[in-house]
């Protein structure tokens, strides 16, 4: 199986941190129910509370592509430029190990 791993980093403007955190947190539950979502985990940097990180694993690239078109992303996408201090950083990774639940 060819899993797709994504690490996304978003940095809020200090004055929009709370609003961005709410919009990002609202993505977790609906995303976890999407077909192909293995895990979708939301983090905040321990040294900079304006930096948020998502760690995601998807069954396939097609599943990730479908996720990016989901309507629950619209509130976030429509406000993202106003809320961010810098562009979103996205890293696509290829996993060499197995997912923990596949042991």
Helix (H, G, I), strand (E, B) or coil at 21: helix
- Inside any domain, residue 102: no
- Inside any domain, residue 38: yes
Predicted pLDDT of residue 102 = 55
Residues 89 and 33: their CA atoms lie apart, in Å, by 24
Q: In this structure, what CATH number is given to the domain that contains residue 47?
A: 3.30.70.100
Tens-digit pLDDT profile for residues 74-90: 999 899 999 999 999 99
Neighbours of 6 (CB within 10 A): 16
| Full domain range(s) for residue 74 | 4-97
Query: Is it the case that residue 34 has pLDDT exceeding 60?
Result: yes
Domains in the chain, number: 1
Q: Is 9 exposed, middle or buried (0-12, 13-18, 19+ CB in 10 A)?
A: middle
pTM recorded for the entire structure: 0.89
């Amino acid at each position: 199986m060819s899993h797709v791993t994504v690490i996304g980093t978003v940095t809020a403007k200090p004055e929009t941190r709370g609003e961005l955190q709410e919009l990002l947190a609202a993505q977790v539950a609906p995303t976890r129910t999407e077909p192909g979502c293995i895990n979708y985990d939301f983090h905040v940097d321990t040294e900079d509370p304006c930096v948020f990180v998502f760690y995601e694993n998807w069954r396939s690239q097609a599943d990730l592509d479908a996720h990016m078109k989901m309507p629950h992303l619209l509130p976030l996408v429509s406000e993202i430029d106003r809320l961010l201090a810098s562009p979103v950083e996205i890293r696509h990774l290829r996993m060499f190990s197995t997912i923990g639940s596949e042991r």
